[in-house]
Amino acid sequence: MFQFIQKFQIPLRGIKYPLFFILISMGLKLHAQDQRVIDSLQKKLPTVETDSLRINILNDLSEEMVDVDPAKSISYATEALKLAEGINHKRSIGVALHNLGNGYYNLADYKKALSYYIRGLKIKEALGNKRGVLSSAGSIGNIFLELHKPDEAYKYFIQALTIGKELKSKTGTASALIAIGTVYNDKKDFTQAIEYTFQALKIFEETDNKEAVATCYNNLADAYENLKDKKKARYYINKAYEKYEEVGNVYGMALALNNIASFYENSGNYEKALEYYQRGLEQAKKINANDRILAAYKGISKSYKKQGRFKEALTSYELFQQINDSIYNTVSSKQIAEMQARFDTEKKAKEIDILTKDKKIQEDALIRQRFISWSIAVGGILVLLFAVVAIRGYNQKRKINKELDLKNKKIETAYNIIEDQHKDITGSIRYAKRLQEAILPTVEFKDIFKENGFVLYKPKDIVSGDFYWVEEIKDNESSTIFFAAVDCTGHGVPGAFMSIVGHNLLNQAVNEHHQLKPSDILDELNVGLSETLRQTIEDSAVKDGMDMALCVLKKNAAAFTLQFAGANNPLWIVRSKEVPELIEIRGDKFPIGIFLGEELHKFNNHEIELFKGDTIYIFTDGFADQFGGSKEKKFKYKPLQQLILSFQHLSMKDQHATLNKTLKEWKGDLEQVDDILVIGIRV
């Protein structure tokens, strides 16, 4: 049986059933070192207080346990998903959904596995997480292999191969190659299957990925067996078992033992076949791997039947049928009853044959003749009974196949509907982004400040809840410049709606109501936002608001003055000296937007004299709150101040580049947790 692998996860294949796992983070293992990892995580879990760290540990435990105890893996992933949804941490939600898919896959509950894989894929695509999409595409392809749809599986494996090459991921590329090999194996093109498997084997040997190497050996053995090259088949399956045993891969050991048993069965050595099927069953039961248990019972039943041990064969077949029903829910109890009747009839036929031989020795020629006639009559009846049973079995099998095809079509239809809905929603959000970009930047920042300013603007999602606003009013030789950094409640689509409301209210306050003082502008926004969102009406109130740092810079030939008002967010001024000095002017500790049961607050106005070379910074909380670094903690405001002080000798363009590079290195592969906005202006 071909195999695929786990965690983007690859297909590990046995003789009859596919299994898909991709070893990007090394799964399918259970040896002393890995058990210590599990023990360490389980010991650490009760001591963790923050939800974010607890979610990480739960997801790690789920990944470590998936091939050891799939049910326990599902339990950890379920708790991680609940916590991640509670804090709306998209990246962790995607990881938990994929872990649930892996757990149900190992339990052979393919309907649930497909559901969780698809939900995880949607989140990863929305986040632009290509490595995650690679993982989900491979896993979904494997489900289609299980449902006997190799053409559908091939589409997803090709997608995985394309992304793997794009990311220059050796493991991802090799995993996709071995997956494509499984498709060719299903199509009986064993030469192509071998070619793709050897390509994957070469890469896995270069990266010293022992479990994946074992998978390749297993798949080569299956392909050579199908090509009737028994010598090579036996060579590679033994190498596969040795490698699985070396790394402690219980699932792989069960798979290889079943395959070895199948080889003995095909060669007529049923005693050896039974021995290896029993060993494979023992390993599979350790981790409740239903697909491996199913294959073992089926092989045991066939071997007993070949030996004429019909009672043991029936018992094993009944165990096989129970598990098969739990996976596919298609086999009725009538088939088992018919199987029972068939075994009973064969047993009675043998007893009659023995009795007939005894009577032939004892009775005279006439009695023997009558007995022969009677035996012929009974034989005719038995033949008739066998014909009836065979016809009923054939009709039942056709009915089962029709039901299975109908269920597969329903799954495929549901998937296509989900895929179309995902495309429609994503397209709508991208169009909303173009509308937001057209509405918000009324004045290009660079046109006002030329080379003396920058904006670092990084939305978390396609559309953003953070926005910046700039307006200039000229009067003869003087000029008044208004600029603000605004953080609306939430991010994504809800935040984008709030940003448009805030932008319109700012324009209205300055251009229509001629407010020139920052505190007066914020007071007007406070009232305007409350009225717009109906926050004084209990039943229809939207309890949202926004944080803002708003500056008014007046410049003339003689001097520069700066007025500032803030809602939760501060203003930083770096004074140009031999040793630069950072001055912080804090905003008021309440947001814009009145909430039910609270009084309307008035904002304070601050006026500051500026000197040539001074640099002004306003920002939202996204940069400081970004998780990253070796300990995956927040960046925080103190390190941000130190970073800004350290690059005062740079131009504003280079400051922007330094902030962007620092953020990218700090975040690494972690998800961006919020919209990010930093504005810098040098006098």
Q: Is the dihedral of CA 352, 355, 357, 363 positive or negative?
A: negative
* pLDDT above 90 for 244: no
Q: Which pair of tokens denotes residue 540?
A: 């229809």
Please state, in angstroms and rounded to a whole number, the distance separating the CA atoms of residues 478 and 427. 46
Average pLDDT over residues 222-243: 89
* pLDDT above 60 for 370: yes
- Cβ neighbors of 438 (< 8 A, separation 6 or more) are none
Average pLDDT over residues 381-401: 83
Q: What is the mean pLDDT of the chain?
A: 82
Architecture of domain 1-208: Alpha Horseshoe (1.25)
| Other CB atoms within 10 Å distance of the CB of residue 535 | 20
Q: Are 661 and 595 in contact (CB under 8 A)?
A: no
Element (H, E) at 615: strand 615-619
Q: Which pair of tokens denotes residue 402?
A: 């029709």
- pLDDT band, residue 94 (cuts 50/70/90): very high
- Cβ neighbors of 365 (< 8 A, separation 6 or more) are none
One-character DSSP codes across 127-148: HT-HHHHHHHHHHHHHHHHHTT
Please count the residues of the chain: 683
Q: Are 26 and 208 in contact (CB under 8 A)?
A: no
**C-alpha 218 chain-centroid distance:** 27
Closest CA relative to residue 126, chosen from 426, 465, 421, 420 = 426
**C-alpha 23 chain-centroid distance:** 14
- Exposed / middle / buried, residue 55 (Cβ in 10 Å: 0-12, 13-18, 19+): buried
* pLDDT above 90 for 9: no
Could you read off the pLDDT of 109-158 as tens digits, one per residue?
888 998 999 999 999 999 999 988 998 988 998 888 888 888 888 999 99
Least-confidence region, from 338-347, 563-572, 655-664:
338-347
- pLDDT band, residue 247 (cuts 50/70/90): confident
CATH class of 440-682: alpha beta
* pLDDT above 50 for 512: yes
Phi and psi of 10, rounded to 5°?
-100, 160
Which long-range contacts does 440-443 make (Cβ < 8 Å, 24+ apart)? 440/467, 440/469, 440/499, 440/500, 440/503, 441/468, 442/469, 442/470, 442/471, 442/503, 442/507, 443/470, 443/471, 443/472
Please give the single-letter amino acid code of residue 256: A
Average pLDDT over residues 495-504: 84
Element (H, E) at 581: strand 581-585
More confident residue, 225 or 435: 225
pTM: 0.42
Could you read off the pLDDT of 463-490 as tens digits, one per residue?
888 999 999 888 777 788 999 999 987 6
More confident residue, 306 or 422: 306
pLDDT at residue 412, rounded to an integer: 75
- Cβ neighbors of 495 (< 8 A, separation 6 or more) are 463, 464, 465, 466, 488, 489, 675
Tell the residue number behind the tokens 């997801």, with chain if given: 59
- pLDDT band, residue 377 (cuts 50/70/90): confident
Could you read off the pLDDT of 20-64 as tens digits, one per residue?
333 333 333 334 446 788 888 888 888 888 888 999 999 999 998
453 three-class SS: strand
- Exposed / middle / buried, residue 612 (Cβ in 10 Å: 0-12, 13-18, 19+): exposed
One-character DSSP codes across 209-267: -HHHHHHHHHHHHHHHHHTT-HHHHHHHHHHHHHHHHHHT-HHHHHHHHHHHHHHHHHT
Could you read off the pLDDT of 427-466 as tens digits, one per residue?
656 666 666 666 665 445 656 777 889 999 999 888 888 9
Angle, CA of 193, 196 and 201, to the nearest 5° = 115
* pLDDT above 80 for 311: yes
Please state, in angstroms and rounded to a whole number, the distance separating the CA atoms of residues 179 and 11. 6
Average pLDDT over residues 577-596: 86
pLDDT at residue 335, rounded to an integer: 43
- Tell me if domain 1-208 and domain 440-682 are identical in fold: no
Please state, in angstroms and rounded to a whole number, the distance separating the CA atoms of residues 82 and 79. 5
One-character DSSP codes across 176-198: HHHHHHHHHHHTT-HHHHHHHHH
Please state, in angstroms and rounded to a whole number, the distance separating the CA atoms of residues 44 and 628. 21
pLDDT at residue 659, rounded to an integer: 96
- Exposed / middle / buried, residue 637 (Cβ in 10 Å: 0-12, 13-18, 19+): middle
Of all residues in the chain, the percent with pLDDT exceeding 70 is 82
Report the DSSP beta bridge partners of residue 475. 478
Element (H, E) at 431: helix 365-439
More confident residue, 403 or 476: 403
pLDDT at residue 385, rounded to an integer: 85
Q: Are 215 and 174 in contact (CB under 8 A)?
A: no
pLDDT at residue 4, rounded to an integer: 47
Of all residues in the chain, the percent with pLDDT exceeding 90 is 38
In this structure, what DSSP letter does residue 540 have?
A: G
Please give the single-letter amino acid code of residue 328: Y
Q: Are 8 and 135 in contact (CB under 8 A)?
A: yes
Domain locations in the chain as residue ranges: 1-208, 440-682
* pLDDT above 70 for 616: yes
pLDDT at residue 600, rounded to an integer: 77
pLDDT at residue 34, rounded to an integer: 64
* pLDDT above 60 for 2: no
pLDDT at residue 581, rounded to an integer: 92
Q: Are 505 and 515 in contact (CB under 8 A)?
A: no
**C-alpha 117 chain-centroid distance:** 6
* pLDDT above 90 for 88: yes
In this structure, what DSSP letter does residue 63 have?
A: H
Please state, in angstroms and rounded to a whole number, the distance separating the CA atoms of residues 626 and 663. 8
Q: Which pair of tokens denotes residue 388?
A: 């009836």
628 three-class SS: strand
| Other CB atoms within 10 Å distance of the CB of residue 632 | 13
